[in-house]
């Protein structure tokens, strides 16, 4: 929440007019009224949009309240983890005033954008296998407290699926729609782990692994490889800076308001100001549609084929 508020403060044309959060947390430094529910915030504040700081699927009440009020919403993927929740939001997103923007900030990363551009210009030829391995998203003292806090109120599978959704989004954005998934997850004393095999409708496959260590911060935390019949693109967090350097010029770190998360918030604000729903490239149906199928595959222990129109 602090991360998002700091970025909005850097926008000249946006104001944080209210915050909804746990009563036991302090929000004094955010300089905005604090409410104990979204319903109350919408009733008392002049609200043009609702930004959910995290996965929409874990904030079902907030999504419902904002959709019912016809207020535009932004959240991290997925906005649903079961078919019933998914279909309800897809039908309600056509509200005359409200809409839902639920794509990953990864789409707005300059690194992933560059990889996508390289793919489009034939850097690897025809896609063979794409691989993304992600481990322990947070680091530093108390790095796993966020994960532990979420798993206190939901199960590890839902949390792991929410992490997988970000990579699912990047893969569909880069290689096209996913038509089939097979996933498994496990939980143990040392770590929680999920592994998914995805098949693209236009050919090629992808594998995604997400591991959350409960004891230490593994390295590297991100490992990406796209391979095809003409070549391979590969990077991890240690050489990401090298991959982005041009003519030996050192990489300049993006300021908060213009990093990938800052740019997705900027896009959200722009859509609200333009008084129009997001374009067809920013729709709520994916990656949540695929994430629902991943969760179903884990629960049922079998591959799931994703229909063209509905689950």
Residues 51 and 114 in one domain: no
* 266 pLDDT above the threshold of 50: yes
Residues 124 and 240 in one domain: yes
Is residue 226 in some structural domain?
yes
E-assigned strands of 201-243? 205-213, 222-228, 232-236
How many domains are there within the chain? 2
Average pLDDT over residues 270-274: 90
The alpha carbon of 66 is separated from its chain's Cα centroid by a whole number of angstroms, namely 19
pLDDT at position 264: 94
Residues 39 and 84 in one domain: yes
Is residue 253 in some structural domain?
no
Residues 179 and 290 in one domain: yes
Is residue 261 in some structural domain?
no
Dihedral sign of CA atoms 25, 47, 254, 28 in order: negative
Domain final position from 105, 125, 141? 105
Mind giving me the DSSP string for 60-73? Answer: HHHHHHHHHTT--E
Q: Which domain holds residue 238?
A: 109-248+285-305
Is residue 232 in some structural domain?
yes
Which of the residue ranges 18-27, 191-200, 275-284 would you say has the lowest mean pLDDT? Answer: 275-284
* 236 pLDDT above the threshold of 50: yes
User: Is the distance from CB of 107 to CB of 173 less than 8 angstroms?
Assistant: yes
Residues 131 and 46 in one domain: no
Is residue 203 in some structural domain?
yes
* 20 pLDDT above the threshold of 70: yes
Domain final position from 79, 105, 131? 105
User: Is the distance from CB of 128 to CB of 229 less than 8 angstroms?
Assistant: yes
Instruction: CATH number of the domain at 150, please.
Output: 3.30.360.10
pLDDT in tens, 117-142: 999 999 999 999 999 998 876 656 66
Instruction: CATH number of the domain at 69, please.
Output: 3.40.50.720
Residues 243 and 124 in one domain: yes
CB atoms under 10 Å from CB of 94, counted, come to 9
Of residues 257 and 119, more confidently modeled: 119
Residues 230 and 81 in one domain: no
DSSP-based three-state secondary structure for 304: strand
Q: What are residue 154's phi and psi, to 5 degrees?
A: -150, 175
* 245 pLDDT above the threshold of 50: no
Is residue 254 in some structural domain?
no
Q: Which two tokens stand for residue 45?
A: 């504040």
* 244 pLDDT above the threshold of 50: no
Q: Which two tokens stand for residue 145?
A: 């407290």
Is residue 240 in some structural domain?
yes
pLDDT band at 309 (very low <50, low <70, confident <90, very high): low
Q: How many CA atoms lie within 13 A of 94 on its CB side?
A: 4
E-assigned strands of 14-152? 19-20, 34-35, 50-55, 73-76, 100-101, 127-135
Residues 65 and 117 in one domain: no
pLDDT at position 132: 95
Residues 177 and 232 in one domain: yes
Domain final position from 41, 74, 105? 105
Mind giving me the DSSP string for 150-200? Answer: HHTTS-HHHHHHHHHHHHHHHHHHHH--EEEEEEEEEE-SSEEEEEEEEEE
Is residue 265 in some structural domain?
no
Residues 86 and 202 in one domain: no
pLDDT band at 247 (very low <50, low <70, confident <90, very high): very low
Residue 20 β-bridge partners: 35
Residues 79 and 166 in one domain: no
User: Is the distance from CB of 50 to CB of 62 less than 8 angstroms?
Assistant: yes
pLDDT at position 80: 93
Residues 7 and 73 in one domain: yes
């Amino acid at each position: 929440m602090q991360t998002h508020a700091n970025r909005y403060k850097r926008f000249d044309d946006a104001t944080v007019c209210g915050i909804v959060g746990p009563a036991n947390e302090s929000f004094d430094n955010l300089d905005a009224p604090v409410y104990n529910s979204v319903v109350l915030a919408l009733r008392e504040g002049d609200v043009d949009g609702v930004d959910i700081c995290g996965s929409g699927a874990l904030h079902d009440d907030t999504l419902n309240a904002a959709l019912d009020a016809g207020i535009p919403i932004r959240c991290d993927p997925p906005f649903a983890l079961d078919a019933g929740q998914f279909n309800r939001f897809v039908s309600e997103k056509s509200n005359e005033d409200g809409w839902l923007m639920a794509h990953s900030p990864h789409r707005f990363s300059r690194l992933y954008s560059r990889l996508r551009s390289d793919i489009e210009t034939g850097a690897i030829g025809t896609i063979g296998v794409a691989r993304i391995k992600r481990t322990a998203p947070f680091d530093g003292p108390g790095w796993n407290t966020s994960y532990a806090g979420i798993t206190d109120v939901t199960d590890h599978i839902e949390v792991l699926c929410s992490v997988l959704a970000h990579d699912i989004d990047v893969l569909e954005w880069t290689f096209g729609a996913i038509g089939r998934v097979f996933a498994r997850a496990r939980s143990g004393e040392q770590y929680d782990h999920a592994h998914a095999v995805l098949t693209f409708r236009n050919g090629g496959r992808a594998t995604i692994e997400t591991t959350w260590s409960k004891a230490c911060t593994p390295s590297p935390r991100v490992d990406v490889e796209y391979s095809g019949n003409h070549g391979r693109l590969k990077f991890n967090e240690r050489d990401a800076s090298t991959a982005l350097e041009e003519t030996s010029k050192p990489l300049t770190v993006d300021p908060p308001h213009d990093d990938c998360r800052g740019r997705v918030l900027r896009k959200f604000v722009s859509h609200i100001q333009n008084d129009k729903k997001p374009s067809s490239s920013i729709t709520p149906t994916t990656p949540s549609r695929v994430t629902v199928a991943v969760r179903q595959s884990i629960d049922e222990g079998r591959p799931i084929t994703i229909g063209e129109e509905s689950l």
